[in-house]
Amino acid sequence: MRTSDTITSPDGTFRLDPADFAAQTGWELKPQGLCRGDACIPVRDRGDLVVGGRVDVRAFAVLTGRPLALDEEAGLAVLGVASAERAAERAAMVVEDFELPTADGGRFRWSSIGHRKKLLFAWASW
Amino acid sequence: MIQDELGPHGLTVVAVALDEADAAREWVDAAAPNYPALVDADHELAELFGIVNVPSVVWVDEDDRVVRPPVIAPVDDLWREFTGIDSSVHHDQLRAWVRRGEPPYRHDEARARVREASPDEQLARAHRRLGALLRRAGRPDRALVHFERAAALAPMDWTIRRGTLPLRGGDPFGPEFFEFAAEWEAAGRPDHRSADRDAG
């Protein structure tokens, strides 16, 4: 399951040192561009993406089509999953393994159910 | 209870609360379920499947393929007057699938029911998530700003419009909820796809 990244920028600029950006998003600044695994985004002609040696989170969000909810005052942002990627993931109709907390404070891994039919029941107290 | 009845025939129920952990715990403790009870405070599963209301179910087969994308499926008929949903229909459909291997529709028909993910929906979910993070970080003032942005982007999404009410000090059964419910009603109950009317 693709998940969003939580980004902290204590000074509220959301221009991060490349090492910090890599730690928070998994995208590393390399000579060939911003890379995660084998995927690279060229940055040479993108003056708005790397400014004064720092990665601009807003420009990165625009470039990758990812939604960005950002709070300058709190220095906190959520970089979400691009709608195209989410749409593709839904259309694949396969549940990849994931882990979530349980109500009693444990952790639960989806694959621990094994080869059975599953009824996912989403509810809420509200 | 469905888990007791269909568990021996190969079904595992997984409950997932679209709630903060403390809110979910209270209910789960009272129910003491004999199946996994997960807490999805960041609405990750809701976003993965495109769940916009509760209670919703997703059916997943032995090979982790989605047999049935989200539909609304109440456990009982407590709110039937409002929802118009006969809960027994879903239970019978489940029995047919688990006991006899008969899904409610073919795979291509199931695929046609997958919810599209729009840029507005994704941005709304990011703002809701940021609001929840800010609230947990002790910034309810900033949380409110992002909950309101989320609501403006996804005005018919119950997980946002109603689900954020307790997070911003509101009452999920108070006047704001009834205002939203009236809005949703007037819009023709968008996305009100229920298990009892969704199968051929």
Domain count along chain A: 1
Q: How close A57 gets to chain B, by Cα (Å)?
A: 15
Domain range list for chain B: 2-114+192-197, 119-183
* Distance (Å) from the alpha carbon of B26 to chain A's nearest alpha carbon: 9
pLDDT below 50 — which residues of chain A?
Answer: none
Assigned CATH class of B2-114+192-197: alpha beta
pTM recorded for the entire structure: 0.95
Q: Are strands B11-17 and B37-39 parallel, antiparallel or unpaired?
A: parallel
pLDDT recorded at residue B175: 94
Residue A36 resides in a domain:
yes
Q: Given an 8 Å threshold on Cβ–Cβ distance, is B142 in contact with A115? A: no
Residue A86 CA to residue A2 CA, distance in Å, equals 8
Q: How many other CB atoms sit within 10 Å of the CB of residue A125?
A: 18
pLDDT at B200: 56
Cα separation, B121 vs B118, in Å, equals 5
Tell me which chain A residue has its CA closest to the CA of residue B160. A126
Domain hosting A20: range is 5-85
Cβ contact B59–A118 (<8 Å): yes
Domain contains A97:
no
Q: Which of B26-30, B40-44, B147-151, B163-167 has the lowest mean pLDDT?
A: B26-30
Strand, coil or helix: A107: strand
pLDDT in tens, B54-74: 999 999 999 999 999 999 999
